[in-house]
Amino acid sequence: MPGPSPSATLWAIHALTTGTLSVGLDSAGYEVLSRIVLALACASWLAAVARAVLRPPRAWREEAAAALTFTAATAMVGTGFCAAGWPRSAAALLALAALLWTGLLWIGLLGVRTPDRQGSVFLRCVATQGLAVLGAALAAAERAAWLAHTALVLFWLGLVLYVVALFRFRPRQMTEDAGDHWLAAGGLGVSALAGALLLGADSGGFYLWNDDNRAVLTRVAVALLVLTLVCCVVLLTAELMWPRHRYDVSRWATVFVVAVTAAAALAIAAALDVPWLDGAGRALLWVAVAVWLGCAAWALASARAGAGSGRVRSRARR
């Protein structure tokens, strides 16, 4: 996700990715590992907050991509808190994410947009569906029907925003972008996760949807998961044909896609009681862990190489 402040984008996308991975690990029953990953997500989120505080307010208008990513990250970290059994903290983050989302949506209407034709156009969908994910999770935990219905509205709005972004996205970016083109699949994946959690919220005697509504949600959630997997195959093929050999902050978008797809598969398996999908989701979850570790190692290696080349140039000047 390119922008004038790579560090702001780095912490935001890292918090989003790591928070999503924590949610997936919790869904699979790895609670201790999920809490450790959630702590890492919180650290990245706080770093993003510090970065935002140190910059003037007008910088948010100049860094719409980073700000939208931070909004989605806030929602996913909140979902991790909800899964950990801390609903009050999750509710506070939901309020913050909703406030940021409203402000950024208004800024977008005023004409400040994410980079045109690039993968960043899907960030409005990702941020909106992030709110739906947290709303659905909190509604299930607190038995709040109004919150579930609000999350459902956000879910459908997120799908509309995805379609709008799809018309703005230039397919050629699959051969040119440094990694944020993977958000084309990320928008579908987080939408599938939101739909699955909305289905899961209607359980345990907590009546939310009638049979028709539940049938529609089920079909849409499953279709979104299938589309996510198809999109991942297309994007992976593009990566193999046009490999990117240099590290970029946008590479974390790829990790996010793998993590959110695994979380969505696990959530749908739980909501619809599909054992084989649960197994597939668990396998994909460990792939997400491996990809997360690989991207982190690549980032560290790139940072060390950059620092080393900087020292060499400094000695050469002397």
d(CA 57, CA 197): 34
Angle CA 252–255–260, to nearest 5 = 125
Rounded percentage of the chain residues whose pLDDT exceeds 90 = 54
Report the SS3 class of residue 150. Answer: helix
The 10s digit of each residue's pLDDT in 274-298 is 999 999 999 999 999 999 999 989 8
| Interatomic CA distance for residues 198 and 209, integer angstroms | 9
- Of the listed ranges 212-221, 256-265, 297-306, the least confidently predicted one is 297-306
First to last CA, the chain: 36
Q: Which of 103, 85, 106 has its CA nearest to residue 95?
A: 103
pLDDT digits (tens, 9 = 90+) for 5-41: 456 678 889 999 999 999 999 999 999 999 999 999 9
Q: What are phi and psi of 144, to 5 degrees?
A: -105, 100
The pLDDT score that the predictor gives to residue 194 is 96
What pLDDT does 54 receive? 67
Least confident of 1-15, 75-89, 128-142, 242-256: 1-15
Residue-level pLDDT at 246? 80
Is 212 or 265 the better-scoring residue by pLDDT?
A: 265
* Structure confidence at residue 257 as a pLDDT band (50, 70, 90): very high
What residues contact residue 84 under an 8 Å CB cut-off, 6+ apart? 26, 34, 35, 38
Q: How confident is residue 2, by pLDDT bands cut at 50, 70 and 90?
A: very low
Instruction: Please tell me what DSSP assigns to residue 294.
Output: H
Range scoring the smallest mean pLDDT among 247-251, 258-262, 271-275, 280-284 = 247-251
Residue 60 has pLDDT above 60, yes or no: no
Residues of the chain above pLDDT 70, percent: 83
| Mean confidence (pLDDT) of the chain | 85
Choose between 244 and 107: higher pLDDT. 244
SS3 (DSSP) at 248: coil
Name which of 78-87, 115-124, 178-187 the model is least confident about. 115-124
Cβ atoms of 76 and 16 closer than 8 Å: yes
Confidence band of 159 (pLDDT split at 50, 70, 90): very high
Tell me what the mean pLDDT of segment 117-122 comes to: 77
Topology classification of domain 6-299 = Glycosyltransferase (1.50.10)
- CA–CA dist 238, 232 (Å, integer): 10
- Residue spans per domain, the chain: 6-299
pLDDT score for 313: 47
Query: What confidence tier does 57 reach under pLDDT thresholds 50, 70, 90?
Result: low
Residue, of 238 and 192, whose pLDDT is higher: 192
pLDDT at residue 113 greater than cutoff 50: no
Two tokens at 266? 């696990």
Phi, psi of 218 (to 5 degrees): -65, -50
Residue-wise burial string across 45-66, b where 16 or more C-beta atoms lie within 10 A, e elsewhere:
bebbbebbeeeeeebbeebbbb
Tell me the CA distances in angstroms from 142 to 88, 91, 130, 202, 266, one per residue in order.
10, 10, 18, 12, 21
Mean pLDDT of 51-62: 63
